[in-house]
Amino acid sequence: MPQKIYNGTRWKLFFGKYSGIEKFAVDELNKCVQKFVPYLIEVRPSREFTPELFHAVIAGTIKDNQLIAEMVDKGVISLPTRSGEYSIFSGISPWNSEARILAIAGFDEQAVLYGVQHINSILHLEITAETPKETQEQLNKLRNFVISEYPRIDNRGIWTWGYVIYDYKRFIDNLARLRMNMLTIWNDCLPHNINEVINYAHDRGVQIILGFHWGWGLDWGQKDFILTDAGVREQIKSSVLMNWSQNYKHISADGIYFQTITEHGNTQIGGQSIASAACTLVNQVAGEILNQRPELYLQFGIHATSVLDNYTQFKYLDSKVSLVWEDAGVIPYSYNPVTNQSDAGFSKPVGIDSVDKTIEYSKKLAALRLGCEFAMVPKGWITLRWKEEFENHGSFILGQREHDFIKKRLCERQARWDEVNRLWFMNYKHAQRFYKELLASKPSRMTVTGLIEDGMFEECIQPSVALFSQMLWNPMCDSKNMLNYAMSPYYKYF
């Protein structure tokens, strides 16, 4: 007989599929449960399950995990019915009344991962003992519960310059742990290892949107802002199409994000609104790209500071181009997460100076283009040190810096994190209200990617970012529960 030191009923893990996104989900689940027991957990495919006396952790879909299908048939767990939806069951095993089951049933493999990350956060909140014997006892006595969840906001993630992602694998892993599914990476030049980054992200259910300028950074001298000049628009178009054809057209990214010349406070130029001129340029350039790739997801990053009441001009924008709004009020748009403009930082839109006005303006933006998504880049965390450190960069390798560098830089920048964490915990209910009311306006889809740059997200999920992810997942959640989940040690220790 094999030697066993630890007596008692043991836990085993049964998976449906061990590839792609579900492989990462199973790895995350195994890592978490293993933390709370002193013995090595057996991990097996579901077809090897037998109704002996052991506790079981089960994860998968009804298609790939027969145990999930049986639990659905027995009415033990509900059948998820939409993309991203999962059900979690904690209770007595339907196969052995002396054993316990912890099951995650996902509609699809993405949902399995979401459910795993949810249960991992619960386990870290409820298993608080210090010794292996005590943590095992708490796991064995985990309360009975049933949970069904799905994401209310479709695309949830982070927007950042690429060169300040210092470890792309750990960065993307942390995104997935927050049940986020989108990462927008802005670059001057495309990284050499971008295909590796994209493949790694896809195996964690994260879409990669690649960003580059449509006019910013080009040496037009005094013509920087003359979008009304047909010659300038033609030069920008030629430059963008060349960059697209040479660098982006054959990349397997999930979309392209771009900005043109709107990040300023001028609303008019040459007798025409910035909004109208930008719309004309984007339609011309986007039309050429969409002729080549009709299915391409195009995101147009637009700054409300140069638009204001002229937002109605964007009803003429190609419906295949998604508008992604920035700087459209106070929290959650402002660089400091506050409710008044005086403390909001820079890029303040004239007249949108309160939470009520911010919500009212965004509802107008969401209602402008029927059938199109509402997308935005909220702010209020950490950004580049523009004046002290920023440089435009050439070609590079993304996210392969030494760990010691990352730890040291986090120490240098933690003071800013401490400031914004405090402000978010003071004001998060205003942002929660914002997302609730925008969802109530029923846009066809919502995309929200928060600006978080040079924050060493790969090293530490800060409390305000965990709170942000909870708001995006379900802003209708009770505020106290939202805060409780955001403070799960899972986000700190994994």
pLDDT digits (tens, 9 = 90+) for 95-148: 999 999 999 999 999 999 999 999 999 999 999 999 989 999 999 999 999 999
pLDDT value for 493: 65
> Which pLDDT band, with edges at 50, 70 and 90, does 393 fall under?
confident
Take residue 470 and report the two structure tokens written for it. 């909870």
User: Cβ atoms within 10 A of the Cβ of 333, count?
Assistant: 28
Q: What's the pLDDT tens digit per position in 251-282?
A: 999 999 999 888 888 888 878 999 999 999 99
- Strand 145-149 relative to strand 86-92: parallel, antiparallel, unpaired? antiparallel
pLDDT value for 347: 84
User: Cβ atoms within 10 A of the Cβ of 224, count?
Assistant: 15
- Determine the Cα–Cα distance for residues 412 and 350; give it in Å rounded to an integer: 34
- Determine the Cα–Cα distance for residues 128 and 490; give it in Å rounded to an integer: 12
Q: Pick 200 or 392 by higher pLDDT.
A: 200
Q: Where are the domains of the chain?
A: 11-149, 155-493
Query: Which residues does residue 301 pair with via DSSP β-bridges, in sequence order?
Result: 259, 324
Region 479-489 average pLDDT: 91
- Determine the Cα–Cα distance for residues 302 and 264; give it in Å rounded to an integer: 11
Q: How many CA atoms lie within 13 A of 308 on its CB side?
A: 16
Q: What's the pLDDT tens digit per position in 315-363?
A: 999 999 999 999 999 999 999 999 999 888 888 899 999 999 999 999 9
| Chain position carrying tokens 């628009």 | 233
**11-149 domain in CATH 3.30.379.10?**
yes
Q: Going by C-beta distance under 8 Å and a sequence separation of 6 or more, which residues neighbour residue 196? A: none
**Candidates 3.20.20.80, 3.40.50.620, 3.40.50.300, 1.10.10.60; CATH matching 155-493:** 3.20.20.80
Q: Give me the percent of the chain exceeding a pLDDT of 70.
A: 97
Q: Is 19 exposed, middle or buried (0-12, 13-18, 19+ CB in 10 A)?
A: exposed
Cβ atoms 236, 261 nearer than 8 A: no
Rounded to 5 degrees, φ, ψ at 305 are -60, -30
Flag whether pLDDT at 494 surpasses 70.
no
> Which pLDDT band, with edges at 50, 70 and 90, does 51 fall under?
confident
- pTM comes to 0.96
- Determine the Cα–Cα distance for residues 60 and 76; give it in Å rounded to an integer: 15
